[in-house]
Amino acid sequence: MLPDLTLPASLAVLLGALRPCFTRRSFVTFCGLAAGLCGQVRRRTVAGMLLGAGLGGIWPHDRAHRFFARARWEIDELGLSVARLVVALLVAEDAPLIVAVDDSVFCRTGRRVHGAAWQHDGSSPSKNKLSFGNCFVTAGIVVTLPFCTRRVCLPVLARLNIPVPGAPRRKNTAKPGSKVAQATSLVTRLAAAFPGRAIHVIADAYYHGPTVKDLVKDLDGRVTWTCRLIKNAVLYAPAPPRVPGKPGHPLWKGPELGTPAQVAATADWTPATVGIYGHDEHIRYTDIPCLWYGSLHRIPVRLIISRDHRGGLTLITTDLATPAPRLIERYAGRWSIEQAFHDIRHVLGGGEARNRARAAVERTVPFTMLIHTLIVIWYTRHGHDPADITARRTAQPWYTTKNEPSFEDMLTKLRRVLITAQISRTRSTPPTPQETRAVLTAWKAAAA
């Protein structure tokens, strides 16, 4: 099926599960570009993916560019197929899905790059936190791998967000094209793909508003939403029960409770121990049922405020059943999507492609995110070996506390397996000196 490309059997089977998303020719190109992105150690441009797969002199470079710009495949359909792999292989049966949503800017230059603009970038080193580039709103499934104590976010859906400054909107409706609207759309697609599972969404303070309210109402509580609460939010007590025989419309909300700081000043605190960020923390928390009328209208929510020696955390959640300590532990897993963005950008080269057409821009970064997820799945199923950590600590002894593989370790292992598959083709002749040098160079680069 792939006469110009040799893949290890474990990776070929994993990619084969995604075959229905492509035409015959596009699937061959997909496999080549996926292997090339994993194998390339420097410039991860579109043409660089061909070089990483050893196809630079075999396939024309416009075949790779056409795959992103004009080929017949849908990035959301591919993402949902990868999501089904994640759930089938890494999530316990009938367990709820923990979905982290966030956005990240991938810096670009050039006026003709589709969707590129100056916009807020929390990872920017500048003081004003602005970057020029493409912003992608992303939904990832948070899982716990059997060899890691930390939680890992596996991006499955991503969508380009283009700012629409000054767009008119009706009162109490989301701004057209807003990041929150994009995020709720992605969660809706995940909910439709897994109709029998509860979905618990975790997000930062930006992700709230009318579209979240509509999502929770439309899915009848199967999706819960937990995010940090902005400090100027005004909370109200739940609506009192209707008094029989009293004329007039029943009250929609109870007395005003005030801002989170005002609520915390008079709250009763309960001690607890929670497992967050890899260790146990002793906290005090308060859990208060309320309404966030200005954002979620009449959706019943809970205000959860926790305090520890490092500061505090204020959450608002539509999950009315999970104990507060468990909700705090769940929300701590939101940081895993930030780590995923870092690995995608700095380890896998997300955003280095220099395409400008609309379809290519909308597909290339999400494609890199999905390859990140497939690498983690492959390593979990086929690549993990405790000896990898021992070898890494021997080669780099300054990692005195390292006892779990990072994403870079997973990618290093896959690169070595890909090189072995290319060198070990069925043939009677030994490897050429060029192939031997390529192995040694990639080995050193992968371990750097």
| pLDDT band for position 170 (cuts 50, 70, 90) | very low
Radius of gyration of the chain (CA): 24
Is there a contact between 272 and 285 (Cβ–Cβ < 8 Å)? Answer: yes
pLDDT over threshold 80, residue 432? no
CA distance 374 to 31: 12
Write down the pLDDT at residue 319.
93
Residues 6 or more apart from 24 whose CB is under 8 A from it? none
Q: Lowest-confidence range among 3-12, 138-147, 327-336? A: 3-12
Write down the pLDDT at residue 200.
96
| pLDDT band for position 440 (cuts 50, 70, 90) | low
Q: pLDDT by residue (tens digit) across 128-161?
A: 888 899 999 999 999 999 988 889 999 999 999 9
Q: pLDDT by residue (tens digit) across 37-91?
A: 988 877 888 888 888 877 877 888 888 899 999 999 999 999 999 999 999 999 9
- Write the DSSP string, 39-83: H--S--SHHHHHHHTT-TTTS-HHHHHHHHHT-S--HHHHHHHHH
Q: Which two tokens stand for residue 122?
A: 């929390």
CA distance 304 to 327: 9
pLDDT over threshold 60, residue 166? no
pTM of the predicted structure, to 2 decimals: 0.90
Rounded to 5 degrees, what are φ and ψ at 172?
Answer: 65, 30
